[in-house]
């Protein structure tokens, strides 16, 4: 199984937009993405390297599996 590693925030944006999330608004250096059917918005910080714990929290909030994350990450 592949391990989740820190990635640039642009890569996360590409992954979540491919999964159907759309940009809603920006608050400071945090981008807010929403998707119909997901109760909570995703808050993606504009960091050069987003830490693993934030990526795992975003995946849990989005209801996305690790396999889907890696598939979308590789296709981007």
Mean pLDDT of the chain: 95
Number of H helices, E strands in the chain: 3, 3
Residue predicted with more confidence, 72 or 1: 72
Per-residue pLDDT averaged across 42-57, rounded? 96
pTM for the model = 0.93
Residue 76 pLDDT more than 80?
Answer: no
Give percent above pLDDT 70 in the chain.
Answer: 100
Band of the pLDDT at 57, cuts 50, 70, 90?
very high
Q: Domains, the chain, ranges and CATH?
A: 9-70 (3.30.920.30)
Burial (CB < 10 A; 0-12, 13-18, 19+), residue 15, is buried
What pLDDT, on a 0 to 100 scale, did the predictor assign at position 1? 73
């Amino acid at each position: 199984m592949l391990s989740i590693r820190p990635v640039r925030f642009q890569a996360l944006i590409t992954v979540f937009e491919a999964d159907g999330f759309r940009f809603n608004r920006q608050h400071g250096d945090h981008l807010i993405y929403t998707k119909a059917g997901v109760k909570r918005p995703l808050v993606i910080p504009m960091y050069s390297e987003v830490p693993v714990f934030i990526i795992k929290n975003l995946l849990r909030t989005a209801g996305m599996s690790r396999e889907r994350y890696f598939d979308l990450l590789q296709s981007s």
